[in-house]
Amino acid sequence: MGESTAAQPLSSSIGDYVKIIWELAGSGAASTTEIAARLSVAPASLTKMLGRLQELGLVSYERYRGASLTERGRAEALRSVRRHRLIETFLLEHLGYSWQDVHEEAERLEHAVSDNFTERLAEFLGHPARDPHGAPIPGADGVLAAEDSFPLGEVMAGGRVHVTRVHNEEAPVLAYLGERGLVPGRSLEVKEVRELDGVVTVEDEEGVSHSLGGPLARSIFVRLLS
């Protein structure tokens, strides 16, 4: 009944392609140029790789029509994401990495660790539910908790919120937010959401207020406090 042979681990290139397609496509399809830009690779390289990924049964792809993950592709993506997020958690909590540096190191390590390592690390870390950026960590069974928070820009002025996640990987952005304590776990009061330019002004627990441009406000996810 087995349909494949020994399930040789995917190369790190393939792992990254699948992961990016998962991030980009969600349940739909991702475009060639979009994926290429995220991976800093020429669009032509994408076309070739999408063919290979299809042969491997990881994506379903039709010329000029974009790519989406197969069930198996989605499973592989979630395994990569689990490894990545557990590693980031370890780097921050035990090796003293700063918030903005964990991603780059995890991006390499995620391709080198075995499933055995991953599960032992999860155990060592106490099976965390979220990574340092507040992103949910998929379970070993491939289940990813549904996101129940929403971008800061969608809150009405006056609302009190709890930061759950910062959905951004750029180190300078993370450094900026980290310095100001705008990190998961923080409580904020939304003072103003300006229609005009999307700038959001919030006040933190110490009464300090912060202005955040539209894109930045969209990358900070929050939950309303009762």
Partner DNA sequence: GTCTATTTTTAGCCTTAGCTAAATCACAAG
Partner DNA sequence: CTTGTGATTTAGCTAAGGCTAAAAATAGAC
How many residues lie near a second copy (CB under 8 A)? 19
Query: Which residue in 34, 93, 107, 203 binds Mn ion (CB under 5 A)?
Result: 107
Q: Does 47 bind DNA (CB under 7 A)?
A: yes
Q: Which residue is nearest to Mn ion (CB)?
A: 103
Contact between 26 and DNA by CB under 7 A: the answer reads no
Asked if 127 is part of the footprint of a second copy (rule: CB under 8 A), the reply reads no
Q: Which of residues 4-63 bind Mn ion (CB under 5 A)?
A: 16
Q: Is 136 helix (H, G, I), strand (E, B) or coil?
A: strand
Q: By the 8 A CB rule, do 220 and 187 touch?
A: no
Residue 130 sits at φ, ψ, to 5 deg, of -135, 155
Nearest CB to DNA, comparing residues 61 and 90: 61
Question: Residue with structure tokens 């042969």?
Answer: 55
- Distances from the Cα of 128 to the Cαs of 7, 87, 124, 125, 167, in angstroms? 28, 11, 10, 6, 18
User: 13, exposed or middle or buried, with CB in 10 Å at 0-12, 13-18, 19+?
Assistant: middle
42 sits near DNA (criterion: CB under 7 A): yes
Binding stretches for Mn ion (CB under 5 A):
16, 103, 107
Binding stretches for a second copy (CB under 8 A):
91, 94-97, 101, 105, 108-109, 111-114, 116-117, 120-121, 123-124
